[in-house]
Structure 1
């Protein structure tokens, strides 16, 4: 099974997403969004910007 993004509403009613690996493990989570459209835009931003993102130790 391939990785997938899941969109859901949290206890406060805000939209969030999580990225799950093929084995079902959560490997990333997103911030709270007021709208579903904002949440989906956050997912698209990760898809666009993350492939070349460097790893920085802080």
Structure 2
């Protein structure tokens, strides 16, 4: 259960702190494809963390 809590917290912190950093890093538009890849990787990481937390909670019951 604690692993699920940590995964939810990780996803929340990543979703909260990553956008300002990514916005600053990708604002120049030097490599648009890399910017899109960085944003998508962050979104996928958050979703995977939250999905894993849900699976852990459901599996433990």
TM-score range, shorter chain: 0.3 to 0.5
The structure with more radius of gyration: 2
Between Structure 1 and Structure 2, the one with more strand by share is 1
TM-score for the superposition, normalised by structure 1: 0.36
TM-score for the superposition, normalised by structure 2: 0.34
Between Structure 1 and Structure 2, the one with more helix by share is 2
